[in-house]
Amino acid sequence: MSRLVVVGFDDKFKAEEALLKLLKLEQEHLLALDDAVVAVKNADGKLRVKAYHDLTEPVPELGNELWGGIISAVVFHRELEISQGVFDPHFLLNVETALKPNSSALFVLVRSGEPEAVLTALAGVGGNVLSTAFSEAAQLKLQDALSAVA
């Protein structure tokens, strides 16, 4: 079982700062990140997404297609993902609300046993922390939904 942790910030650069903090802790072997994405929404509401993949040890199920589905679901509140039960609709609405113009969000997929370490590491950086379960079954549902649309 994984957890999707999203931290929304009222600043366009805070999500990158928070990710740097997590990467430093990972380098010190205090936590392990599978994958992360930073989303920045500019003043016009345009969304830019930057993925941080480990290219030496890629996690195959966390490709750009899956992250695209996650971002689409949580930022744009897609009915497809809601109707298929991939995410809790309240979680989606909370993330969508947190990502306002001139803001950023850090999306981190955390494997079992690590959510508390990530949340502890993020203490003091500010932001609105949201978290939801993201099981392998939910990942498969999302991948199937994306394949059906493509």
Series of mean pLDDT values for 10-residue runs along the chain (150 residues): 85 92 82 82 90 58 64 64 69 85 89 67 82 79 68
Query: Which pLDDT does position 84 carry in this prediction?
Result: 64
Residues 6 or more apart in contact with residue 67 via CB below 8 angstroms = 35, 37, 49, 51, 107
Confidence (pTM): 0.80
Query: Which pLDDT does position 56 carry in this prediction?
Result: 47
Tell me how far apart the alpha carbons of residues 15 and 104 are, in angstroms, rounded to a whole number.
6
Residue spans per domain, the chain = 2-145
Identify the three-state secondary structure at position 103: strand
Identify the three-state secondary structure at position 132: strand
Tell me how far apart the alpha carbons of residues 111 and 105 are, in angstroms, rounded to a whole number.
19
Query: Which pLDDT does position 64 carry in this prediction?
Result: 62
The DSSP 8-state label assigned to residue 88 in this structure reads -
